[in-house]
Amino acid sequence: MRWMSSIWTKANLLHEYVFMILSVFRIVCVLLALVSRWLTRRRFVRLFNSFRRLFLSNPEAIQYCRRGMAFKCFCGTVTELVQLFMALIMVKKYLTFTLALGIWAIMTLTAIINVIITQYYIAMANIRGSYVLLNKELQEIMVEVRALEPSRRGVFVTKCCSLADRLDEIAGSQSELQALADRLSKTFEVQVFCMVLDFYLNSVANFYMVFSAGKYTNMTQEWPDIVLVMGAAFFVFYYLDNWISLYNVLDLLDLHAEMVKILDQRTLFLPGLDNRLEATFERFVLNLARNPFRIRFFGVFEANRFTSFAMGNSLLANSIFLIQYDMENF
**For 98-119, how does the pLDDT look when each residue is reduced to its tens digit (9 = 90+)?**
777 877 877 787 788 788 888 8
pLDDT at 108: 80
* Distance of alpha carbon 35 from alpha carbon 283, whole angstroms: 42
The letter for the amino acid at 181 is: A
List, as one string, the DSSP characters of 136-152: HHHHHHHHHHHT--TTS
* Distance of alpha carbon 106 from alpha carbon 78, whole angstroms: 16
Q: Which residues pair with 301 in a beta bridge?
A: 297
Which is it for strands 296-297 and 301-302: parallel, antiparallel or unpaired?
A: antiparallel
* Alpha helix segments (H runs only) across the chain: 2-7, 13-39, 41-57, 66-90, 97-146, 153-187, 189-215, 225-264, 275-290, 305-329
Angle (nearest 5°) at CA 251 between 123 and 78:
60
* Distance of alpha carbon 205 from alpha carbon 216, whole angstroms: 16
pLDDT at 236: 92
* Distance of alpha carbon 304 from alpha carbon 295, whole angstroms: 8
Q: Which residues of 114-128 are buried (b: 16+ CB within 10 A; e: fewer)?
A: bebbbbbbbbbbbbb
pLDDT at 125: 94
* Residue 226 phi, psi (nearest 5): -65, -30
Please provide the size of the chain in residues.
330
pLDDT at 12: 66
Give the Cβ contact number of residue 88 at 10 Å. Answer: 14
Summarize pLDDT for 51-74 with one digit per residue, the tens. Answer: 999 888 888 888 888 888 999 999
**Residues 132, 244 contacting (CB under 8 angstroms):** no
Q: What is the pTM of this model?
A: 0.87
Give the Cβ contact number of residue 288 at 10 Å. Answer: 18
* Distance of alpha carbon 155 from alpha carbon 166, whole angstroms: 17
Angle between helices 97-146 and 153-187 in degrees, nearest 10: 160
* Residue 303 phi, psi (nearest 5): -85, 115
**Residues 244, 76 contacting (CB under 8 angstroms):** no
List, as one string, the DSSP characters of 177-232: HHHHHHHHHHHSHHHHHHHHHHHHHHHHHHHHHHHHHHHSGGGSTTS-HHHHHHHH
- Beta-carbon contacts of residue 59 (< 8 Å; ≥ 6 apart): none
Residues in the chain predicted with pLDDT less than 70, given as ranges, are: 1-12, 151-154, 218-220, 330
Give the Cβ contact number of residue 149 at 10 Å. Answer: 10
Of 73, 70, 66, which Cα lies nearest the Cα of 118?
73
pLDDT at 1: 47
The letter for the amino acid at 247 is: Y
CA atoms within 13 A on the CB side of 281: 22
Domain range list for the chain: 2-329
Of 151, 133, 135, which Cα lies nearest the Cα of 143?
135
Of 320, 88, 45, which Cα lies nearest the Cα of 183?
45
For residue 63, give the DSSP letter: G
